[in-house]
Amino acid sequence: MNDFIKLIKRFVPPYKKYVVLNIFFNILGALFSAVAFSFIIPVLEILFKTKDVVYTYMPVDFNGSMKGVKDALSNNFYWYISDIANTHSGISVLIGLSVVLIIMTFFKVATTYLGSYYIIPVRTGVVRDIRKQMNDKVLTLPIGFFSNECKGDIIARMTGDVSEVENSVMSSLDMVSKNPILIIVYLTVMLVISWQLTLFVLIFLPIVGYIMGKVGKSLKRKSLEAQNMWGGLMSQMDEILSGLRIIKAFNAEEKIAKRFDDSSNEFREISNRIARRQQMAHPMSEFLGTITIAVVLCFGGLLILNNTGGIDAATFIYFLVIFYSIINPAKELSKSVYTIKKGMASMERIDKILDAKNDIQNPQNPQTVSFEHAVTYRNVWFKYQNNWVIKDVTLTVPKGKTIALVGQSGSGKSTMVDLLPRFYDVNKGGIYLDDIDIREFDMSDLRSIMGNVNQEAILFNDTFFNNIAFGVKNATMEQVIEAAKIANAHDFIIATENGYETNIGDRGGKLSGGQRQRISIARAILKNPQILILDEATSALDTESEKLVQEALDNLMKNRTTIVVAHRLSTIKNADEICVMHEGEIVERGRHDELFQKNGYYRKLCDMQQF
């Protein structure tokens, strides 16, 4: 329960108004319930004529003892009932008491409903806040975090785990805020009726709590294991959807199906064990409650028969009604403990994202971004985990020039350009913009002067217009059309059914590779960045598409500082400087002709066309 209380302290304070109203109406509901049941006593006494006493009015001394006030109020109530019975008839008293019972019950259910009514905004609001915090956290975490995590598992935490928190933890809020109040009110009434009988009842509660706690701890452990397995299943689903073409091409359907079935069956087995233990809460609490009632019946009967407990038959029946009423909230409370344990296992997985540390931080007093002279890499070292990927690299990119990075796969080219917008931070050395370390700038300001065109055109399930205008505030249709024309994308866009308002599908699935790439180039053109990063922008295209895309890139690169990562000679032949990378180091640099004549690494790459 400590974890649950911490969760409440974290997320509930913004909704304290609703919590106060919920508790207020729950208290009223419990009081109306106890008062309504108390009318059973006079009804039973009138029906069975258990008392043959003449009542007279007794003044109430509120300054006296509690017992004196209680006796006076009880006496005056019976005096009033007797007076009505003598004036009219016994049946009139029964009808009157029944009407009062109905009225009190109406107030009880009305206040109970209002208690639940006001807890709903808390439950839905907390779940919304958790989702928002997770989404905001994912957007702020560095790209390196996701290199070590399965995308499917992260999606599982943002969907399945949040839903589990909603279904188990948050749905238990009502039970947790209502049931303890009912239990306290009912216990107070029971103590007033007979403290001996109530004390006897309370002996059994620690036993029940111990048994429930044992099962609840094991349920939390199993739930955490199940949620981790669910994350693995989601990862497999993501892999299947992403790699369906390869799976079919290699006739691997049976292998993938077996792997998924094995994981799914294992998840089913552990889910069965969790569900069975969860279902144990109701019968276990009901059985223990029945045992307790049976023992209370025997003990209470003994008190009445021996006339030692100060309790008569009608009052004892009222005691039993109150005690039976306390069993249901106690049972719901124990059930909520089970569901909370299960939900808190999901909350632990969610907290692994919410508590993840972001090592890439903005400075407290950022410098103003300006770019007038050059981008400079000075003795840069970088590694993802153990091995150095970039080793003591020094490179200057003058403003307005095009610098190309070439080399075999794994030589560190893409890492070099990822360091510039601070997707990762260097381990040693620094990257400078006009002699100011880029870590001195606000990341948003730094990235605002940069534009990216990657090998894989990252597009969104939206219209042409919104994809081109992505990240540019208040972009007009005229500006978007102009950018599309420069990128050689305007003609195929207007040929679609709704032109610029046509939806391009998930990840631009309705477009060809060349069309997707030209849309991403149009997006970069509209942003009009001072520094352009081209990361293998044409390597995945056919010759015809490459020609159109290269023409669009040439338009984009005019009078712009550009860093090009390339696998194809046509992309970098006219670069101002070509840097050849090998195992994280720049081993050659110069223009195309002079490097070609050296007959070194660059000449080999050209001969093999393996940039």
pLDDT of residue 51: 56
Task: Please tell me the pTM assigned to this model.
Answer: 0.67
- Region class of 348: left (phi > 0), else alpha (psi between -120 and 50), else beta: alpha
Regarding whether 345 and 392 lie in a shared domain, the answer is: no
Region 517-544: mean pLDDT is: 78
Regarding whether 298 and 397 lie in a shared domain, the answer is: no
* Cβ-contact 152, 239 below 8 angstroms: yes
On the question of pLDDT at 546 being above 70, the answer is no
Residue 419: band (very low, low, confident or very high) from pLDDT cuts 50, 70, 90? very high
Domain boundary among 319, 354, 389: 354
Residue 66: band (very low, low, confident or very high) from pLDDT cuts 50, 70, 90? low
Using CB atoms within 10 A of its CB, is residue 585 exposed (0-12), middle (13-18) or buried (19+)? Answer: middle
Regarding whether 348 and 388 lie in a shared domain, the answer is: no
**Residue 224 placed within a domain:** yes
Regarding whether 399 and 346 lie in a shared domain, the answer is: no
Tell me the CATH number at 499. Answer: 3.40.50.300
pLDDT of residue 611: 44
On the question of pLDDT at 371 being above 80, the answer is yes
Q: What are 276-303's pLDDT values in tens digits? A: 776 776 677 677 667 777 777 787 777 7
pLDDT of residue 205: 60
Regarding whether 328 and 450 lie in a shared domain, the answer is: no
Q: Looking at 357-447, which runs of residues are DSSP E strands?
A: 374-383, 388-398, 402-406, 428-433, 436-437
On the question of pLDDT at 237 being above 50, the answer is yes
Q: Is 463 helix (H, G, I), strand (E, B) or coil?
A: strand
Cα 119–Cα 276–Cα 201 angle in degrees, nearest 5: 65
Regarding whether 379 and 347 lie in a shared domain, the answer is: no
**Residue 518 placed within a domain:** yes
Going by the DSSP 8-state scheme, the letter that residue 437 receives in this structure is E
pLDDT of residue 256: 81
Region 448-462: mean pLDDT is: 82
Task: Tell me which residue of 364, 367, 359, 527 sits closest to 432, measured CA to CA.
Answer: 367
User: How many domains does the chain divide into?
Assistant: 2
Regarding whether 349 and 382 lie in a shared domain, the answer is: no
| H or E stretch covering 587 | strand 585-590
**Residue 247 placed within a domain:** yes
Regarding whether 391 and 343 lie in a shared domain, the answer is: no
pLDDT of residue 179: 82
* Cβ-contact 565, 507 below 8 angstroms: no
**Residue 55 placed within a domain:** yes
* Ranges 55-59, 394-398, 433-437, 503-507: which has the least confidence: 55-59
**Residue 366 placed within a domain:** no
On the question of pLDDT at 168 being above 50, the answer is yes
What is the number of other CB atoms lying within 10 angstroms of the CB of residue 171? 17
Regarding whether 300 and 386 lie in a shared domain, the answer is: no
**Residue 140 placed within a domain:** yes
Domain region containing 523? 374-608
**Residue 362 placed within a domain:** no
Tell me the CATH number at 184. Answer: 1.20.1560.10
pLDDT of residue 153: 73
Residue 359: band (very low, low, confident or very high) from pLDDT cuts 50, 70, 90? confident
Regarding whether 179 and 305 lie in a shared domain, the answer is: yes
- The Cα diameter of the chain in Å comes to 125
Q: Which residue has the higher pLDDT, 497 or 572?
A: 497
Regarding whether 423 and 314 lie in a shared domain, the answer is: no
**Residue 580 placed within a domain:** yes
pLDDT of residue 335: 67
The mean of the pLDDT values for the chain is 79
Instruction: Give the CA distances from residue 248 to residues 233, 240, 509, in Å, rounded to whole numbers and listed in that order.
Output: 20, 10, 19
Record the tokens describing residue 375, joined without a space.
Answer: 């981008």
In the block, tokens 């928002």 appear at 132
Cα 496–Cα 502–Cα 507 angle in degrees, nearest 5: 110
On the question of pLDDT at 333 being above 70, the answer is yes
Domain boundary among 325, 354, 383: 354
Regarding whether 246 and 130 lie in a shared domain, the answer is: yes
* Cβ-contact 582, 408 below 8 angstroms: yes
Task: Tell me which residue of 491, 537, 541 sits closest to 512, measured CA to CA.
Answer: 541
What is the C-alpha to C-alpha distance for residues 420 and 380, in angstroms, rounded to an integer?
A: 11
What is the C-alpha to C-alpha distance for residues 265 and 267, in angstroms, rounded to an integer?
A: 5
Which residues in 489-506 are b (16+ Cβ under 10 Å) and which e? bbebbeebeeebebebee
